[in-house]
Amino acid sequence: MDLGGINPAVLVASLMVASVPIMLAAIGELVVEKAGVLNLGVEGMMIMGAVCGFATAVETGSPFLGFIGGALGAMALSFVFAVLTQFLQANQVATGLALTLFGLGLSSLMGQGYVGIKPPLTDVVPFGPLADLPVVGRILFDHDPMVYLSIAVIAVVWAVLKFSRMGLILRAVGENHDAAHALGYKVTRIRVLAIMFGGAMAGLGGAYLSLVRVPQWTDGITAGAGWIALAIVVFASWKPWRVLIGAYLFGGISVLQLNLQAAGARIPVEYLSMSPYLITILVLVIMSSGKGRSAMNAPAALGQNFHASR
């Protein structure tokens, strides 16, 4: 198969790389929303992850420590959100938006000294001869560890939510926090942990941007990726594997349209650029119409604050 001079294997390989940041951020946000918390600060947490990861990697010379630093940095920011919304009962939407603005500003401040520095390179996982297989090798066995980790995280989140007791409790808290509380579950504690998991994932996604995908630090490096991650959660109707599909779709289309242009294909790229958003709207319409309503699957307590005295 040949798409106007584009090698499909290369295309698939690059869309997998392009999708990693939004996929990680989206799966983290999915867990947060499953616990009944709407954190709109994904963009802010991602960029904090990007700058903390970058700084850590540059200072230590290790990309691995960089990713850990990115996750911790974003987790710290998400903890601010957790304190404000879970203990001080602040409005989640407003706090989330403020978190984004705060993260963008703080990251810009922290990144002052890191503009124009090259980070240590993240190596490709050595699969030996497997990477030389035609087509399959390029697609499956020629990536850095984070690509595999992102898919693994999806699988783990899916398994935990579906099969484990922990997942059941998390979902109960997200569906009806009063009932969960009456059963003796620590609603606030569970939500704080979920928020921090979401922060860590967003941070990993951000660090992937600044350490692998771009790789450098510039102000505003996430350029709206966090908002796309939020859209993917809705697009996926809060189901982990659909997050994977959504991320590949969003990431894939943006890569595909650039490749088509580079290959000189004469198709209007504007339509291609808007198609993921059109699909999202379509999915939303189908889901919210009559029969599909129950399939919409949004956690019932999403965005509602919980206080034990009520």
Partner 1 sequence: MNRRILMASAAMALGLAFGGGAQAAGMDKVKACFVYVGPVGDGGWTYQHDQGRQALIAEFGDKVDASTFQENVPEGADAERVLTQMALGGCNIIFTTSFGYMDATNAVAAKFPNVKFEHATGYRRDSENVSTYGARFYEGRAVIGTIAGRMTKSNKIGYIGSFPIPEVIRGINSTYLHAKKVNPDVTMSVVWAYTWFDPAKEADAAKALIEQGVDVIVQHTDSTAPLAEAAKTEGVIGFGQASDMKEYKPSPRVSSIIDNWAPYYVKRVGALLDGTYAQVDSWEGIGAGEVEIGEITDAVPAEVKAEAEALRDAIGAGTYHPFTGPINKQDGSAWLADGVTAPDGDLLGMDFYVEGITGDIPK
Query: CA nearest 79: which of 165, 174, 161, 197?
Result: 197
Nearer to partner 1, 172 or 201 (CB): 201
Judged by CB under 8 A, the number of residues near partner 1 is 40
Nearer to partner 1, 112 or 288 (CB): 112
Task: Choose the stretch contacting partner 1; rule: CB under 8 A; options: 132-140, 146-154, 252-260, 286-294.
Answer: 252-260
Query: CA nearest 35: which of 158, 190, 160, 236?
Result: 190
Asked if 15 and 251 touch (Cβ cutoff 8 Å), the reply is yes
Asked if 67 and 204 touch (Cβ cutoff 8 Å), the reply is yes
- Is 273 a binder of partner 1 (CB under 8 A)? yes
Using CB under 8 A, pick the residue from 47, 190, 202, 255 that binds partner 1: 255
Please state the closest distance from residue 70 (CB atom) to partner 1, in A.
15
Torsion of CA 14, 60, 41, 241, to 10 degrees: 40
Query: CA nearest 146: which of 283, 281, 300, 25?
Result: 25
Nearer to partner 1, 111 or 199 (CB): 111
Please state the closest distance from residue 115 (CB atom) to partner 1, in A.
5
Name the DSSP letter for residue 61.
S
Using CB under 8 A, pick the residue from 74, 75, 194, 221 that binds partner 1: 221
Please state the closest distance from residue 210 (CB atom) to partner 1, in A.
9
- Is 215 a binder of partner 1 (CB under 8 A)? yes
Asked if 20 and 244 touch (Cβ cutoff 8 Å), the reply is no
Asked if 15 and 276 touch (Cβ cutoff 8 Å), the reply is no
Binding residues vs partner 1 (CB under 8 A): 5-7, 10, 14, 18, 21, 108, 111-112, 115-118, 209, 213-216, 218-225, 254-255, 258-259, 261-264, 266, 268-270, 273
